[in-house]
Amino acid sequence: MSQPSIVWRLLRRNISAGQIAGFAAANLVGMIIVLTALQFYRDVTSVINTEDNMLTQDYIVLSRKVKDVSFGKSTGFSVADIADIEKQPWVKRVAPFTASRFHVTGKIDLGSGMYTHLFFESIPDDYFDTLPPDWSFDPEEENPTIPIVLSRDYLALYNFGFAATRGLPQFSEELISELELKVSVSGNGLERTFPGRVVGFSNRLNTISAPQAFVEWANGIYAVDKEEDPMRLIVQVTDPGDPVIKAYLEEHGMESAGDKLESGKAAHFFTIATTVVVGVGVIICLLSFFILMLSVYLLIQKNRQKIHDLILLGYTPGQVSKYYIRLSVITNVSVLLLSCITVFVAQQLWLEPVRTIGSEVASLIPTYIVGLIMVLVIIGFNVAAIKRLTRRSV
């Protein structure tokens, strides 16, 4: 029989299987709680964030509340208003919507021409996380095309509220993206027709968007109204669920377009709940770590005389401690593998409901990496503690 086997048989006599099993069970529970909560949070937030692939960050669109009849009353944001918003701790940056101040009409040729009045608004290009395709306009080109981002709400209102009751054709997003529009702009006694194309749809921008380069250029030529304070602002915030935002808006007579504040509030509370659950899991992992450390300490104390004799026989403290280190590594790796399998099985339980609401779950790999990092940290502390205890027992 080899010497390593003899040494291991000698040292393992005082190993308590119950203590090791207790550590493994506690660590397994803690690891499962942490990894499952993390993966569930990533899956659910991936559903929240898939609402708009062009504006994925935390933006809200602000406007003033309209009370009674506001004809002739200013509902725009002054320079002082914008400066005050920029000073708020929950604001990262602010930009006004640039509105078209000229007449716009759009036409689609489908046998009988469809004709309607339009308007355009624009925001700075750097507010898009992903610029829509062909999002540019050069007036120096011979026949430049106007790229358009359309609100999905507008398309739904047309399809199900207007077209359905007027016997007009309904359009899918794919079809309307393939159609070429004839966009006529006019003002100051001038008129010009441009080809237009819908290049994207947005849930976050409740408007008809065109590149800022086009809107500013056209305002400079065709504007029929004088420039006024912007009516709407796009604001990047730290956390749309922060209750301070809602209080500020109510105090200053403002409102946020859509339900971003409400969904942000839900995400905010969900983040808090996830943090609490993960915190509980981490505490359980820490407790299991101390259980293992206590078990190793008691084990080394019981084997202190044997370890001393092995050192006298020529074994180094490192050679002796490696058997306890191996036990720690095998136990922790087993816990990690079981935790990863459990997280995979748990994800299958909520996989179908997440896909039902039109989203794909997040990858498991980042969660597995977090688990691996946790185990490596635990093993690192275990190795350091075992080596220190072994040296002390000599």
Segment 251-305, tens digit of pLDDT:
888 888 755 555 555 566 666 777 777 777 677 767 766 766 666 666 666 666 6
Q: Is 137:212 a contact under the CB 8 Å cutoff?
A: no
What local confidence, expressed as pLDDT, does residue 1 receive? 43
78 and 172 both lie in a single domain: yes
100 and 45 both lie in a single domain: no
Choose between 75 and 62: higher pLDDT. Answer: 62
Whole-model pTM over 0.95 = no
130 and 173 both lie in a single domain: yes
pLDDT over 70 at 362, yes or no: yes
Choose between 198 and 114: higher pLDDT. Answer: 198
Segment 140-191, tens digit of pLDDT:
888 899 999 988 888 888 888 777 777 777 888 888 888 888 999 998 889 9
What number of other Cβ atoms are within 10 A of residue 195's Cβ? 12
What local confidence, expressed as pLDDT, does residue 211 receive? 92
30 and 129 both lie in a single domain: no
Domain count, the chain: 2
234 and 274 both lie in a single domain: no
**Which 8-state DSSP code applies to residue 161?**
I
Q: Is 97:123 a contact under the CB 8 Å cutoff?
A: yes
- Domain span at residue 245? 59-258
**How far is Cα 351 from Cα 358, in angstroms, rounded to an integer?**
11
Measured distance between the N- and C-terminal CA atoms of the chain, rounded to whole angstroms = 26
272 and 232 both lie in a single domain: no
Segment 105-138, tens digit of pLDDT:
988 876 666 788 888 999 888 888 777 888 888 8
Choose between 73 and 66: higher pLDDT. Answer: 66
77 and 138 both lie in a single domain: yes
**How far is Cα 31 from Cα 40, in angstroms, rounded to an integer?**
14
246 and 270 both lie in a single domain: no
Domain stops at, among 258, 278, 302: 258
Residue 21 pLDDT grade (very low, low, confident, very high; cuts 50, 70, 90): confident
66 and 206 both lie in a single domain: yes
Segment 159-169, tens digit of pLDDT:
887 777 777 77
192 and 292 both lie in a single domain: no
What local confidence, expressed as pLDDT, does residue 94 receive? 92
What local confidence, expressed as pLDDT, does residue 218 receive? 92
What local confidence, expressed as pLDDT, does residue 299 receive? 63
126 and 234 both lie in a single domain: yes
Choose between 313 and 342: higher pLDDT. Answer: 342
Contacts 24+ apart (CB under 8 A), 357-362: 357/47, 358/50, 359/46, 359/47, 359/50, 360/46, 361/43, 361/46, 362/39, 362/42, 362/43, 362/46
What local confidence, expressed as pLDDT, does residue 2 receive? 46
Domain stops at, among 224, 258, 292: 258
Segment 328-355, tens digit of pLDDT:
788 888 888 998 998 899 888 877 777 7
**How far is Cα 389 from Cα 300, in angstroms, rounded to an integer?**
7
Domain stops at, among 258, 283, 315: 258
37 and 71 both lie in a single domain: no
